[in-house]
């Protein structure tokens, strides 16, 4: 499997997980920033997001799944 295929599959996996959980975002939600996605970076970001009470979601507007800016840590509104 080549690198582009792996990133595409990873992006689809994250997108499908995001579609399963509809949440309302608060000001605590944030984009992962700039750069090219790699497995390790996405995993670290996902772990950090989870600790903060959120979940990674791919943007639903058809962005490039190979770019970090296409992913957001969505933290639901709390008390």
Is the alpha carbon torsion for 53, 35, 21, 8 positive or negative? Answer: negative
Per-residue pLDDT of the chain (79 residues; tens, 9 = 90+): 556 655 555 555 555 444 444 444 456 898 888 889 999 999 999 999 999 999 999 888 777 888 988 999 999 887 4
Residues 76 and 79: their CA atoms lie apart, in Å, by: 10
What pTM did the predictor assign? 0.60
């Amino acid at each position: 499997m080549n690198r582009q295929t792996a990133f595409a599959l990873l992006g689809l996996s994250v997108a499908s997980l995001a579609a399963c959980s509809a949440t309302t975002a608060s000001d605590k939600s944030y984009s992962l920033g700039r750069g090219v996605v790699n497995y390790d970076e996405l995993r670290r970001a996902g772990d950090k997001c989870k600790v903060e009470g959120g979940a990674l979601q791919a943007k639903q507007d058809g962005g490039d799944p190979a770019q970090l800016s296409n992913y957001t840590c969505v933290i639901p509104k709390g008390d």
